[in-house]
Amino acid sequence: MNAVVAIDSLKGSLTSMEAGRAVCEGIRRVYPDAVVSVRPLADGGEGTVEALVSGMNGELRTITVTGPLGQPLECSYGIIGSSGTAVIEMSAAAGLPLVPEQDRNPLLTTTYGVGEMIRDAISRGCRRFIVGIGGSATNDGGAGMLQALGYDFLDSDGKPIPQGAAGLKHLATISSDNVLPELSQCRFCVACDVTNPLCGELGASAIYGPQKGATPEMVRQMDLWLGRYAALAAKTFPRADASFPGTGAAGGLGFAFLTFTDAVLESGIHIVLEETHLADYIRNADLVITGEGRLDGQTAMGKAPVGVAGLAKQFGKPVLAFAGCVTEDAVACNHKGIDAFFPILRTVTTLSEAMEPGTAMKNMAGAAEQAMRLWKACREAR
């Protein structure tokens, strides 16, 4: 028996690797000599750093950066030493949950701390970057991040513009004279699963501004300032294209990466599957197992388990999935490569009890064991 297990984290309960190890335990109760490869899985959002660091022999580094409202903030990112790769979640330094609801105001929030994480990773020898940009509290077009990397964003008096989207109102000059020299050696793979342009009715300000605390008037102003920023950038930086899909991600951070760094925007799950070389493990497997905390109709729209299933089907492999819970519309996953899925709950319980890590591990292992018993019986009956 050769099985590959790649399960997304059960958020608030089990990490990707913990869930995978529980499945491995269940498999070996039925096939004691099974070869089981437990691989990390994430979709480029929350949990990506943890998954890749724990699954690829990396290390976590914790530093103090500038938080979204300008306050000192402790945050962590991952370093995969074997490949000189830094794994960063922008939300660790500029995420919406870091700002209390009553303080949410994208005119003031900054991505400066994201740039400080990148700068620190560069100082430690990293030249490859995987950056998840979901969940931002910002709408500054990535100006804060770029300032932290040495770009000069100046007003008409030659002074640095203030932090936040409001600073773009005063932007008159963008200069790369003082950029970190090592930045030109860096390659950024940016996990981005949205296609919004920078400006307009589908842009960063209009679509995502309100959830960050923007009023209709603030949305109008920020969209105008981002448009001016893009036009100014285009005069000096030929890659500037405010209409390119994904430039509106994370309040314009997608635009900043594409315009001012050597970057590509890619599907988060595609990046993770590539970085973990999952295809190399699936190629010779008898069975592929995936899953996540909640399997539903959205899973079928391209979330991590369906990414795994799609890859497995390229090699003609059967796919099972386990989840903390499943919904009626999860049946759509059966049309996306998941041959069968199973909820792991074994009794009526409260949500908090079900999410207790020890309970979740036990339930996951038990569900995997019973699925393997059926698998074994079917194979022996042939």
pLDDT average per 10 residues of sequence, the chain (382 residues): 95 92 98 96 87 90 97 97 95 95 96 98 97 94 98 97 97 97 97 93 96 96 98 96 96 98 94 92 97 92 92 97 95 96 92 93 97 95 84
- Is the distance from CB of 194 to CB of 249 less than 8 angstroms? yes
Dist. CA 262–CA 182, nearest whole Å? 12
The strand ranges marked E within the chain are 2-5, 35-38, 59-66, 72-80, 85-89, 128-132, 152-154, 173-175, 187-191, 263-266, 287-295, 319-326, 340-343
Reported as type and span, the H/E element at residue 345 is none
Dist. CA 107–CA 229, nearest whole Å? 15
**pTM given for the model:** 0.88
The pLDDT value recorded for residue 190 is 96
**87 Cβ contact list (under 8 Å, min separation 6):** 48, 49, 52, 53, 58, 77, 78, 79, 80, 129, 130
- What per-residue string of b and e applies to 246-278 under the rule 16 or more CB within 10 Å gives b? bbbbbbbbbbbbbbbbebebbebbbbbbebbeb
The pLDDT value recorded for residue 145 is 98
The pLDDT value recorded for residue 56 is 87
For the four alpha carbons of 222, 228, 230 and 236, in that order, the dihedral sign comes to negative
For the four alpha carbons of 273, 275, 279 and 282, in that order, the dihedral sign comes to negative
Proportion of the chain in helix, strand, coil states, percent, rounded to 5: 45, 20, 35
Give the 3-state secondary structure of residue 114.
Answer: helix
Q: What is the CA radius of gyration of the chain?
A: 22
Domains of the chain, first to last: 2-39+279-381 (3.40.50.10350), 48-269 (3.90.1510.10)
| Chain-centroid distance, C-alpha 198 | 20
Could you tell me the two tokens for 61?
A: 């580094």
The pLDDT value recorded for residue 128 is 97
Dist. CA 333–CA 120, nearest whole Å? 41
Dist. CA 268–CA 70, nearest whole Å? 28
